[in-house]
C-alpha cells in the first residue's frame, strides 16, 4: 500500500514549520509541528481540495494567458508572430514564473485564511467571555 506523503495530508506544513517554529519532536504536553499541522488541517480536507482544484485551473488559464500576452507583445514589438523555440524556451517559462509568484502570495493568504477560520472563532469567544466578565465586575461594583 502506498502511503500519502505529509504534504498531501497537510498542505500547509511548510508554513507551519517556517512561521510557527514549533519543535519537531517533544513530549505529549508540548505542541509539536505534527500536532499543530494535524490541528490546523483537521476538518478542512474538502475545502483545501476544492481550493487546490480551483487554483490548478486558474493557474493553467493564467499561464496560457500570460504566455500568449508575451507572445503578442513580442509580435507587436519585433514582428515575430511564430511559435519558434524562443517562445517555448523564454516566454513560456517567464509566464510560468509570473504565475508562480502570484500563487506564492495566494498560498500564503490561503494559509492565513485557514488560520483565521480555525483560530479566529476561538479568539472571538475569549474576547466575548472577557467582555462579559468586565460587565459583571462593573455591575457588581455599582450595585
Contacts of 82 (CB under 8 A, 6+ apart): none
- The total number of structural domains in the chain stands at 2
What does pTM read for this prediction? 0.72
Q: How confident is the model over 86-110, as pLDDT tens digits?
A: 999 999 999 999 999 999 999 999 9
26 and 64: one domain? no
Same domain, 29 and 53: no
Radius of gyration of the chain (CA): 24
Q: Per residue, what are the HEC states of 1-23?
A: CCCCCHHHHCCCHHHHHHHHCCC
Q: Let me know whether 29 and 76 are in one domain.
A: no
Statement to judge: residues 77 and 11 lie in one domain: no
Q: Are residues 30 and 13 in the same domain?
A: yes
> Are residue 38 and residue 54 in the same domain, yes or no?
no
Distances (CA, A) of 92 to 26, 58, 122, 126: 46, 16, 45, 50
The domain of 103 spans: 45-142
Cα–Cα dist 35/83, whole Å: 50
Look at residue 55 in the predicted model and tell me its pLDDT: 94
Q: What is the pLDDT of residues 125-142, one digit of tens each?
A: 788 888 888 888 888 887
Amino acid at each position: 500500500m502506498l502511503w500519502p506523503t505529509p504534504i498531501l495530508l497537510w498542505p500547509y506544513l511548510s508554513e507551519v514549520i517556517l512561521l510557527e517554529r514549533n519543535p519537531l519532536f517533544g513530549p505529549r504536553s508540548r505542541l509539536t509541528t505534527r500536532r499543530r499541522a494535524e490541528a490546523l488541517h483537521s476538518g478542512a480536507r474538502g475545502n483545501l481540495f476544492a481550493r487546490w482544484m480551483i487554483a490548478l485551473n486558474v493557474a493553467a488559464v493564467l499561464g496560457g494567458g500570460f504566455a500568449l500576452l508575451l507572445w503578442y507583445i513580442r509580435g507587436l514589438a519585433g514582428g515575430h508572430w511564430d511559435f519558434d523555440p524562443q517562445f517555448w524556451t523564454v516566454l513560456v517559462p517567464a509566464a510560468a514564473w509570473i504565475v508562480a509568484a502570484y500563487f506564492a502570495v495566494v498560498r500564503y493568504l490561503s494559509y492565513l485564511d485557514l488560520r483565521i477560520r480555525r483560530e479566529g472563532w476561538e479568539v472571538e469567544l475569549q474576547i466575548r467571555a472577557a467582555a462579559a466578565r468586565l460587565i459583571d465586575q462593573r455591575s457588581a461594583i455599582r450595585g
